[in-house]
Amino acid sequence: MYSDKTIDYFQHPRNMGELPDANAMGEVGNPVCGDIMKMWLKIDKNGIIVDAKFKTFGCASAIASSSIATEMIIGKHYNDARKVSNQEIADALGGLPAHKIHCSVLASEAINQAIDNYLGIKPVKAEEGDYICKCKKITKDKIEEAIQHGAYTVKMIAEATGATTGECGGVRCTPEIEKILAKYTHKEKEQG
């Protein structure tokens, strides 16, 4: 179920703890599933991430994803760190079970939120009605972003965003995702 690398990063997390001299911090999570992730970054005057630490309240996949994500971004310019996708994090761990992909999504979001914090960009809070996947708090914008980056099936969107495509607050995610996909397919036919 879990790769040897995921187990190793869970049992022996790298860069765990707070970073007292951090100049950036991001916190993401989903109280419904219980995973909470905090990431601290130390970014130098040239925009290079010289150190990163994390604390995660969550499962083995969440801890492993946070840990490997910090290793992946140390030494990178923050613009390059923003490009680290949840799929790259999952792949670096040797893959994650489908129902644990949301852990790599949280790690990617923690990186981006910390960088936003560094740049002074305030997070935009989504309204409850804006969520397509309520239990994982995945918005329409996140679904559309995944489509624009090449996800063209419900499964691919679930892997890219962490959407569970199951029962969410009494509303099924899959039909909503299919509607968004259909709009993009229709637009492509009109343009093509």
Contacts of 192 by beta carbon, 8 Å cutoff, 6+ apart: none
**What distances in angstroms separate CA 58 from CA 3, 25, 29, 147, one per listed residue?**
18, 18, 9, 28
At residue 42, the pLDDT reads 98
Report helix, strand or coil for 159. Answer: helix
Task: Tell me the torsion sign for CA atoms 160, 100, 42, 11.
Answer: negative
Structure tokens at 44: 């130098």
At residue 133, the pLDDT reads 76
Structure tokens at 52: 């990163």
Contact 9, 93 (CB under 8 A): yes
At residue 66, the pLDDT reads 96
pLDDT of 61 strictly over 70: yes
**What distances in angstroms separate CA 112 from CA 4, 69, 86, 98, one per listed residue?**
27, 11, 11, 22
pLDDT tens track for 130-166: 777 766 677 887 888 788 777 888 888 877 787 766 5
- What's the whole-number average pLDDT of the chain? 84
**What distances in angstroms separate CA 142 from CA 83, 118, 163, one per listed residue?**
15, 22, 10
Q: Tell me the C-alpha distance between 110 and 106, whole Å.
A: 6
| Amino acid, res. 179 | K
pTM value?
0.71
From the candidates 33, 135, 168, 173, give the one annotated as an active-site residue: 33
- Higher-pLDDT residue of 39 and 103 is 39
Q: Give yes or no: 133 in active site.
A: no
Contacts of 17 by beta carbon, 8 Å cutoff, 6+ apart: 53, 54, 55
* CA–centroid distance for 189 within its chain: 31
pLDDT of 126 strictly over 70: no
Residue 134 has a CB neighbour count (10 Å cut-off) of: 20
pLDDT-based confidence at residue 111 (cuts at 50, 70, 90): very high
- Higher-pLDDT residue of 47 and 30 is 47
Which domains are assigned to the chain?
4-119 (3.90.1010.10), 128-191 (1.10.10)
Q: Percent of the chain at pLDDT above 90?
A: 47
Q: Give yes or no: 103 in active site.
A: yes
pLDDT of 170 strictly over 60: no
pLDDT tens track for 4-38: 999 999 999 999 999 999 999 999 886 556 788 99
